[in-house]
Amino acid sequence: MDCNDARSYLLAYNRGTLDAPLRLALESHLAGCPGCRHEQLADRELSTLLERLSPRQAPASLKRALHGRWERPVAGTRSSSVVRTVAAMAMGAAMAIVPVLVWRARVPDAAMVAEAVNDHLRVLYAQRPLEVESGGIHQVKPWFEGKLDFAPLTAFAGDDDFPLQGGLVGYFVDRKAAILVFRRRLHVITLFVFPSAGLRWPTVGNQTIGTARGSLETSRGFHVLLWRGADLGYALVSDTNEADLLTLGAKVVGPS
Amino acid sequence: MPVGRVDPAVYASPVTTDPLTPRDALRHTDGLFRLALRLTGSDADAEDLVQETFARALGAGSQFAAGTNLRAWLFRILRNAYIDSYRRKRSNPVHPYPNDDSDPSDAAASTREPLRGDHELERMRAMVGDDIETALATLSIDARTVILLDVEGLTESELAEVLGCSVGTIKSRLSRARAALRERLRDYSR
């Protein structure tokens, strides 16, 4: 065994995972090679040093937040038991076809709602969520030019009730989106504007939003308001109350 | 238990044959937080990174196949999320360190002759946790990742899954990373 071979086995040797023939060969080499003996001791000392790293645990507040957000099954994750699958199938068989069609006409795809909440959380938890700070909509809207292949249309420039904080480019589900961030008192409200094609939208919706129709859903404690206008889709997401979200939605839709 | 490694018993079984459940995934929060903390260098950023990891892992559209090694999968998501944020902050083509361990200073460290005699050992024995935290922070992202996940008790095949390379490559990466760390400790203690 030469020094190169010997040094490649030192970590396994110090961890006691080297098989007997190699261990004996290595020990024979170490006995006659001060350089490799030094390397073996230094590597063992490094392992001891690494044990001195603080065994930090995640803060309790982080764990509480994660458990509160994810412990309930969410859309997009798979059902965890055969029983649940069978129950779902039985329920599906029991449902009449007409109510299903009515329901689907009013309710958006659950995955779309779940993804809207995920995207909102990414904005909330980003270290620097805003790529352009708001000096008014006339500063924010031109900033999107050249960054998107569509113009994010909205008539609303923010006001005292819903001040515009700024904007950034991000994603909604699988596509690029303009993201405008508003505030309602202490609540952050995220508006996503994105091409609407290819998503499963409700044909009717369950809410009137100014002059538009859309859907208001709740997922994991967040309200999600979804609607379409021209070729664009709009999603407002926040933990503020539903009335605030509908009010802001109507302002974003604007007068007919 | 091997020296310098977390007792694997602290983890739930890393491999699951069941579909992904949030409860199983959240059992890895502490380990994910430790790696996030030593990649980002701040508690607040580490919490953001762990939140982002779970958003990617448990959110709609996540790609988890039954039988996947859950622990390795989560650490891989965290590493990728960190690299994404690293790229965004730099706003230019990615620094070469995140995707390989070809950081020239890391490679050089593995070929440099070590100090002879007992000086290096004496210095290492006198060091405390803060010293090694400081030295670790100077390593490339992948060198830090491979060392820290080895300390966390991940197997070589799990490390290979996290870093997207072969087990053979992991052996050499871990060896080079540890050599680089010793070099930094030596510089730091001078």
Would you place residue A26 in the very low, low, confident or very high pLDDT band (cuts 50, 70, 90)?
very high
Radius of gyration of chain A (CA): 28
Q: Which of A131-145, B73-87, B109-123 reaches the highest mean pLDDT?
A: B73-87
Look at A71 and B47 and tell me if their CB atoms are within 8 Å. no
Residues B84-121: tens digit of each pLDDT: 887 777 654 444 344 344 454 555 544 445 445 567 77
Look at A51 and B26 and tell me if their CB atoms are within 8 Å. no
**Residue A256 confidence (pLDDT):** 62
Which one of A15, A58, A111 has the shortest CB-CB distance to B3?
A15
Mean of the per-residue pLDDT values of chain B: 77
**Residue A240 confidence (pLDDT):** 86
**pTM exceeding 0.80:** no
SS3 at position A210: coil
Residues B37/B137, Cβ–Cβ less than 8 Å: no
Residues A222/A239, Cβ–Cβ less than 8 Å: yes
Would you place residue B2 in the very low, low, confident or very high pLDDT band (cuts 50, 70, 90)?
very low
Q: Which tokens sit at B104? A: 């020239």
Mutating which of B51, B122, B123 best tests the A interface, going by the most A Cβ atoms within 10 A? B51
Distance of CA A36 to the CA centre of its chain: 49
SS3 at position A206: coil
Least confident of A214-218, B12-16, B50-54: B12-16
The percentage of residues in chain A with a pLDDT greater than 90, rounded to a whole number, is 14
Residues B103/B173, Cβ–Cβ less than 8 Å: no
A10 CB contacts (<8 Å, ≥6 apart)? A26, A36, A39, A40, A43
**Residue A224 confidence (pLDDT):** 93
**Residue B94 confidence (pLDDT):** 42
Contacts of B29 in chain A (CB under 8 A): 58, 62-63, 66
Q: Which tokens sit at B80? A: 């990728």
Sorted by where each starts, the structural domains of chain B and their CATH numbers stand as 8-94 (1.10.1740.10), 96-190 (1.10.10)
Mean of the per-residue pLDDT values of chain A: 79
A253 CB contacts (<8 Å, ≥6 apart)? A155, A209, A210, A211, A212, A227, A229, A234
Residue A86 has pLDDT above 80, yes or no: no
Q: How far apart are CA B32 and CA B71, in angstroms?
A: 9
Residues B18-40: tens digit of each pLDDT: 567 888 889 899 999 999 999 99
Look at B29 and A66 and tell me if their CB atoms are within 8 Å. yes
Sorted by where each starts, the structural domains of chain A and their CATH numbers stand as 3-51 (no CATH), 63-253 (3.30.200.100)
Q: Angle formed by the axes of helices B29-40 and B70-90, to 10°?
A: 30
Q: Which tokens sit at A39? A: 């390397």
Would you place residue B162 in the very low, low, confident or very high pLDDT band (cuts 50, 70, 90)?
very high
Q: How far apart are CA B182 and CA A199, in angstroms?
A: 53
Nearest to A69 by CA among A231, A184, A239: A239
How distant, in Å, are the alpha carbons of A73, A153, B105 from that of B101?
38, 45, 10
